[in-house]
Amino acid sequence: MAIANLIIRNARLHSFHQGWKENQADTLAISGNKIEAVGKWEFLQPLIGPQTEVLDARGKTLLPGFNDTHIHIWKVGNLRTYMLDVRAAGSLEEMLQMLDQYARAYPEAPWITARGFNEAGWEKGQMPTSDDLDRVIPSRPVFVIRTCAHIAVANSRAMEISGIDQTTPAPVGGMIYRNHAGKLNGIFSETALGLISGHIPPYNSFQLKKMIEAAREQLYAKGITAATDPAVDPLLLDTYREMDRNGELGFRLNAIPILLPDGGGRPYPVGDCFSSSFMQVNMVKFFSDGGLSGKTSALKGYYKNSHEQGVLRLDRDQFRALGKQAMAKGFGIATHAIGDAAIEFVIEEYKQLGAQFPGIMKRIEHLGLPEKKHLVDMSAYHIAASMQTIFISELGKNFIKYLGQEYLDHCYPVRSVLEHGILMALSSDAPVVREFNPFKGMEAAITRRDNEGNIIAAHESIGIREALKAYTSDAAALSGTPLIGALKEGMLADFIVIDGDPLETKPEQLTGIRVEKTYVNGKCVWEKNP
């Protein structure tokens, strides 16, 4: 074994890969950017050389770095840089006040853009309209995206600039909403968002880089050393590639290009697979339906007390043709599917594609309301899933409001998914949720409790080891990154030091665990302020 450049001793080490045995190690030795050895202090002292740094963990816990397999990295950073964050708004009036203050603070901004409202948590539960936005900002275009990012509201000026009037048809897979009098109310969903967003001045590469850097600090603080951005357009992909070439990423990135832009009829070109030590591009992304919290996920049944069934937004022939084109170039496919109708649609297409391209990864993003037969098929046809139990925390109130009991009883059914032998990782989909701490996702996976105290599908609870595995070793398997996700000899030295032991913490107290240090490539990239 090589002499170590860093040794951390007197630690509690937890890993969740096959073959790991608890209490077998209290010391981690790093050589270069990889784990040289994991074992007992008395046996690893020969790895100490003149330049070796030896740190005493003082009994703190070391875990593999967390891997969020579905998080919109640049959008997380955008809410800290160029876009107003209205997720804290507790009412329509409060959100309008935030917009008014922001517009006054940035009089030079050609557009006012914001994201994050959730009307289900407001007293009256009413969706904002163009009339509301016009009251506070009548002369500049305003576009406010709901927390789910599948619904947005535009003011009259924004619709005017975008050429939207009473005669404008909704694109396939999208909806333009009207009030009771049949007039446009400024609300758009799914692919129709592109009718407005296509007229907003696009961000440039410099701005995207600033967003990514802002998000990276948040990732580090939550112990996330690897992440998948699941909807990357060509400019964002070029920005990520440039940062990777310049050694500026600082975390393991799995970038998934999107092939069908909202509101656009022409697909983006299918590029080539790519891999480096910090970045890989080996999947493409599709959307088959919308968001459950906003009633746009495609259901076989109906949302509670309504005749609404959501939106199935994929054209079968186009999906199949683009899927074949991508898989022929070696890409896997990740498809957003939440409602049971969308999940069934995607599985049937995956069966066809899998027969022609065996062995290539097929993922379902979210998998909110699968039926048992869907899980049977997913297991048989090796279809994996990236799920978000963290939604239960912040969006549980929406689920309870919009779903009947039959749907609620199998909402984000992680226990059933694991029991069917399906490869599953947990993730956040931030900034759909405000808090994307992995420990919050684990807490929700175990307690199944929302922030209001309601329990949703308690029988779908999993254990803490399963939850930790879903954020580490299983997440690495889902991402196709075999050198991360475990404290194991030869693995990349991406790990975290935390101030509590999750295996000895009550589930409802997991969110209280704090990251103290985050390491990437064996170097400390973030440390909690004393």
Give pLDDT tens digits for 184-209.
Answer: 999 999 999 999 999 999 999 999 99
pLDDT of residue 263: 65
Please give the backbone phi and psi of residue 20, each rounded to the nearest 5 degrees, phi first.
-70, 135
pLDDT of residue 441: 98
pLDDT of residue 23: 87
pLDDT band at 1 (very low <50, low <70, confident <90, very high): confident
pLDDT of residue 76: 98
Is 70 exceeded by the pLDDT of residue 295? yes
Mean pLDDT of 100-107: 97
Is 70 exceeded by the pLDDT of residue 415? yes
Residue 431: is the preceding peptide bond cis (ω within 30°)? yes
What are the start and end residues of each CATH 3.20.20.140 domain in the chain?
67-72+203-518
Taking the CB of residue 165, how many other CB atoms lie within 10 A of it? 9
Mean pLDDT of 340-361: 97
Q: Which of 15, 67, 81, 64 is nearest to 428 (CA)?
A: 67
CA gap 439, 509 in Å, rounded:
9
Please give the backbone phi and psi of residue 514, each rounded to the nearest 5 degrees, phi first.
-115, 140
Mean pLDDT of 264-292: 94
Which residues on adjacent β-strands are paired with residue 112?
A: 142
What are the start and end residues of each CATH 3.10.310.70 domain in the chain?
83-197
Averaged pLDDT score across all residues of the chain: 96
DSSP 120: G
CB 15 within 8 A of CB 487: yes
Q: Which of 425, 190, 378 is nearest to 288 (CA)?
A: 190
- For 441, the 3-state DSSP assignment is helix
Mean pLDDT of 157-168: 97
CA gap 41, 371 in Å, rounded:
50
Is 70 exceeded by the pLDDT of residue 492? yes
pLDDT of residue 108: 94
CA gap 467, 474 in Å, rounded:
10
Is 70 exceeded by the pLDDT of residue 264? no
CA gap 515, 496 in Å, rounded:
7
Please give the backbone phi and psi of residue 352, each rounded to the nearest 5 degrees, phi first.
-65, -45
Residue of 530 and 337 predicted with greater confidence: 337
CB 225 within 8 A of CB 201: no
Please give the backbone phi and psi of residue 495, each rounded to the nearest 5 degrees, phi first.
-155, 170
CA gap 113, 117 in Å, rounded:
12
pLDDT band at 124 (very low <50, low <70, confident <90, very high): confident
Residue with tokens 């404290």: 487
Distance from chain centroid for Cα 145? 17
Which option is the CATH number for 83-197: 3.40.50.720, 3.10.310.70, 3.40.50.2300, 1.10.3720.10?
Answer: 3.10.310.70
Which option is the CATH number for 4-59: 3.30.360.10, 2.30.40.10, 3.40.50.2000, 3.40.50.970?
Answer: 2.30.40.10
Which option is the CATH number for 67-72+203-518: 2.60.40.3080, 3.20.20.140, 3.40.50.620, 3.20.20.80?
Answer: 3.20.20.140
pLDDT band at 56 (very low <50, low <70, confident <90, very high): very high
pLDDT in tens, 366-389: 999 999 999 999 999 999 999 999
Percent of the chain at pLDDT > 70 equals: 99
CB 521 within 8 A of CB 33: yes
Amino acid at site 355: A
Sign, CA torsion 62/65/71/75:
positive
What are the start and end residues of each CATH 2.30.40.10 domain in the chain?
4-59
pLDDT of residue 262: 76
**How would you classify the pairing of strands 424-426 and 383-387?**
parallel
pLDDT of residue 482: 96
CA gap 211, 76 in Å, rounded:
7
